[in-house]
Structure 1
Amino acid sequence: MTFPDGFLWGSATAAHQVEGNNIASDFWVLEHVPGSRFAEPSGDACDHYRLFREDIALLAELGFTSYRFSIEWARVEPEDGFISRAAIEHYRDVLQACHDHGIVPMVTLHHFTSPAWLTRLGGWEYAGTPERFAAYCRTVMTELGPLIPYACTINEANIAMLTRRMIADMTGTAGGAEQAPVGVARDEAGGGRDWREVGAEALRTTPDNLNLFLFTWTETGLELITRAHTEARRAIREASPSTKVGITLALQDWQAAPGGEKAADERWAEAFEFFLPAMEGDDFLGVQNYSRVVIGADGLACAHPEGAELTQMGYEFYPQALENVVRRAATAGLPVYITENGIATDDDERRAAFVRSALEGVERCLADGIDVRGYCYWSTLDNFEWLLGYGPTFGMIAVDRKTQKRTVKPSARLLGDIARRNAVADA
Structure 2
Amino acid sequence: MYDVFSLPEFRFPEGFLWGSATAGHQVEGDNIHSDHWKWEQEGECEEPSGKACDNWRLFREDVKLVASLGHRAYRYSVEWSRIEPEEGRFDPAALDHYKEMSELLKRNGIATYVTLNHFTVPQWFAARGGFQERENIPYFLRYVEKVVKALAGLVDSYLVFNESFHTRGDSRRGFNFLIAHARAYRLIKSLCDVPVSSAHMAVQPYPNRYYDELDRLMAAYRDFQYNGCFLHAIATGELISPFTEAESCPELKGALDYWAVNLYTRTLVDSRRADLAAPRFPHKKLRMIDRDFYLEEMYPEGMTAMLERFRDKPVYITENGCSCRDDRFRIVYLTLYLSAVHDAIQRGADVRGYLYWSLMDNYEWNSFTPRFGLVDVDFRTFRRTPKPSAAFFREIIEHNGFSQAILRKYLHELPTLEKP
* Same fold, TM-score > 0.5, yes or no: yes
State the TM-score, normalizing by the size of structure 2.
0.83
Q: Tell me the percent identity.
A: 36
For the residues of structure 2 that align with 1:146 and 1:357, how far apart are their CA atoms? 37
In the alignment, what sits opposite 2:397? 419
In the alignment, what sits opposite 1:64? 71
Q: Is the 2:305–2:344 contact (alpha carbons within 8 Å) kept by the matching residues of 1?
A: no
Q: Paired residue for 2:375, among 397, 402, 417?
A: 397
In the alignment, what sits opposite 1:46? 53
In the alignment, what sits opposite 2:413? none
- Asked if 1:157 corresponds to 2:134, the answer is no
Q: Paired residue for 1:318, among 295, 298, 322?
A: 298
Q: Paired residue for 1:341, among 320, 345, 362?
A: 320
Instruction: Render the CA deviation track for 1:305-355: whole Å, top value 9, x for unaligned.
Output: 223223442423224132222222x14x22111111111110100011001
Q: Displacement of 1:101 after TM fit? A: 1.1
Equivalent residue runs for 1:117-266 within 5 Å: 117-158=124-165, 161=167, 177=169, 217=170, 219-240=171-192, 242-256=193-207, 257-259=210-212, 260-266=215-221
Instruction: Render the CA deviation track for 1:131-153: whole Å, top value 9, x for unaligned.
Output: 11111111111121311111000
In the alignment, what sits opposite 1:373? 352
Q: Paired residue for 1:356, among 335, 352, 355?
A: 335
Q: Displacement of 1:157 after TM fit? A: 1.4
Q: Paired residue for 2:25, among 6, 12, 16?
A: 16
Q: Is the 1:75–1:87 contact (alpha carbons within 8 Å) kept by the matching residues of 2?
A: yes
Secondary structure in 2 matching 1:380: coil
Q: Is the 2:186–2:255 contact (alpha carbons within 8 Å) kept by the matching residues of 1?
A: no
For the residues of structure 2 that align with 1:132 and 1:273, how far apart are their CA atoms? 28
| Aligned-partner residue type, residue 109 of structure 2 | G
Secondary structure in 1 matching 2:319: strand
Q: Is the 1:135–1:235 contact (alpha carbons within 8 Å) kept by the matching residues of 2?
A: no
Count of aligned pairs between the two proteins: 362
| Aligned-partner residue type, residue 286 of structure 1 | A
Instruction: Render the CA deviation track for 1:155-198: whole Å, top value 9, x for unaligned.
Output: 00136x4xx5xxxxxxxxxxxx3xxxxxxxxxxxxxxxxxxxxx
Q: Is the 1:108–1:151 contact (alpha carbons within 8 Å) kept by the matching residues of 2?
A: yes
Q: Is the 1:145–1:243 contact (alpha carbons within 8 Å) kept by the matching residues of 2?
A: no
Q: Is the 1:233–1:245 contact (alpha carbons within 8 Å) kept by the matching residues of 2?
A: yes
Q: Displacement of 1:390 after TM fit? A: 0.6
Q: Is the 1:258–1:296 contact (alpha carbons within 8 Å) kept by the matching residues of 2?
A: no
For the residues of structure 2 that align with 1:293 and 1:27, how far apart are their CA atoms? 26
Q: Paired residue for 1:273, among 213, 219, 228?
A: 228
In the alignment, what sits opposite 1:102? 109
| Aligned-partner residue type, residue 340 of structure 1 | E
Q: Displacement of 1:116 after TM fit? A: 0.6
Instruction: Render the CA deviation track for 1:223-275: whole Å, top value 9, x for unaligned.
Output: 211111111111111111x1110011111222222222222222111111212
In the alignment, what sits opposite 1:208? none
Q: Is the 1:129–1:228 contact (alpha carbons within 8 Å) kept by the matching residues of 2?
A: no
For the residues of structure 2 that align with 1:281 and 1:117, how far apart are their CA atoms? 28
In the alignment, what sits opposite 2:266? 292
Q: Displacement of 1:12 after TM fit? A: 0.7
For the residues of structure 1 that align with 2:90 and 2:278, how far apart are their CA atoms? 48
For the residues of structure 1 that align with 2:299 and 2:95, how far apart are their CA atoms? 38
Cα RMSD of the aligned pairs, angstroms, is 1.6
For the residues of structure 1 that align with 2:194 and 2:138, how far apart are their CA atoms? 20
For the residues of structure 2 that align with 1:303 and 1:54, how far apart are their CA atoms? 41
| Aligned-partner residue type, residue 218 of structure 2 | A
Provide closer, same or farther for how the CA distance between residues 319 and 56 of structure 1 changes in structure 2, counting only shifts above 3 A.
Answer: farther
Q: Paired residue for 1:6, among 15, 30, 37?
A: 15
In the alignment, what sits opposite 2:410? none
Q: Displacement of 1:126 after TM fit? A: 2.3
Instruction: Render the CA deviation track for 1:100-126: whole Å, top value 9, x for unaligned.
Output: 111111010000100011012111222
Q: Is the 2:158–2:197 contact (alpha carbons within 8 Å) kept by the matching residues of 1?
A: yes
Instruction: Render the CA deviation track for 1:265-305: whole Å, top value 9, x for unaligned.
Output: 22111111212324623101111111112324547233222
Gaps of 5+ in 2: 1-9, 234-251, 402-420
Gaps of 5+ in 1: 165-176, 178-216
Q: Is the 1:64–1:103 contact (alpha carbons within 8 Å) kept by the matching residues of 2?
A: yes
